[in-house]
Amino acid sequence: MNSANGNFVAAGASRGPVRAYFRDIWKTVHTILVGMRISLKYCFAKTITLQYPDVAPALQPRYRGFHFFEIEKCIACDMCAKACPVDCIYIEKTGPRKVDKNTGIATGGLMTRYAIDYAKCMFCALCVDPCPTECIHMGNLHDMSGYTRDDMIVEFTDLAKEGLQTPQPLWMQSEKPPAWAQQRKAEWEQYKHSRDQLTSDVNRRREEMAKAVAPEA
């Protein structure tokens, strides 16, 4: 390289260019060997790269992923929508709602729509703080994709009718997801297909969620 040439002639002028030339070569080889020794150490070290998606991602408990929404507690008060800096929470209701003290379920007007536009959402968690009934949380789902922008709008009211509280990632539809994902998928499926057995807590809760979006009988 030109600049290297220019430099060593200048730097080595007092010591003699020939000596400086060989000094440079020696130093280069020496420092590279020092670096090589460090690299060599890691040749025998344990691999630390996580092979996602074959291995499940290691998410921390406070991870801010796609929201986890408990619709049966939501009173459609608009506090979360007002706190959202990008205005991506859409709420529609037919009348005021109130949480029933005994059952913990919101009743009153019909909640016709609760949707979040994830094309806009920046996962800042500001919507979580003001909620009076603590029904919206940041979930641990980090992988969701869609083919169009409209795919990114998640209708939580529609999900609630199926008994779901978070959107379903696209990989669930793939034929052969990796092992960790298969396990998650199985849990999800079980959650979805056991609609008639109202035994477990999960199922009871799902029924409540469905009720929360259905008109009062």
Could you tell me which stretch among 16-24, 31-39, 130-138, 156-164 binds ligand SF4 (CB under 6 A)? 130-138
Work out which of 127, 144, 164, 181 binds ligand SF4, going by CB under 6 A. 127
Burial (Cβ within 10 Å: 0-12, 13-18, ≥19) of residue 65? middle
Site string for ligand SF4, 24-63 (x = CB under 6 A): ----------------------------------------
3-class secondary-structure state, position 170? helix
Rounded CA-CA distance 20/17 in Å is: 5
- Compare residues 29 and 198 and give the one whose CB is closer to another protein: 29
Q: Is residue 85 close enough to count as binding another protein by CB under 8 A?
A: yes
Could you tell which of ligand SF4, another protein, none binds residue 74, using a CB distance below 5 to 8 A set by kind?
ligand SF4
Q: Is residue 94 close enough to count as binding another protein by CB under 8 A?
A: no
Q: Is residue 125 close enough to count as binding ligand SF4 by CB under 6 A?
A: yes
What's phi and psi for 190, nearest 5 deg? -60, -40
Residue appearing with tokens 């009718």: 161
- Compare residues 131 and 164 and give the one whose CB is closer to ligand SF4: 131
DSSP 86: T
Interactions with another protein, residue window 20-49 (CB under 8 A): 24, 27-28, 30-32, 34-35, 38-39, 48
Site string for ligand SF4, 61-80 (x = CB under 6 A): -------------xxxxxxx
User: Is 149 within 8 Å of 185 (Cβ atoms)?
Assistant: no
Residues 6 or more apart whose CB falls under 8 angstroms from that of 37 comprise none
CA distances from 50 to 18, 39, 47, 55, 60 (A): 50, 20, 8, 7, 15
Q: How far is CA 139 from the centre of its chain?
A: 7
Residue count of the chain, please give it: 217
Rounded CA-CA distance 74/78 in Å is: 10
Residues making contact with another protein (CB under 8 A): 1-4, 7-8, 11, 24, 27-28, 30-32, 34-35, 38-39, 48, 59-64, 83, 85, 122-126, 129-130, 138
Residues making contact with ligand SF4 (CB under 6 A): 74-80, 83-84, 86, 88-89, 91, 116, 121-127, 130-133, 135-136
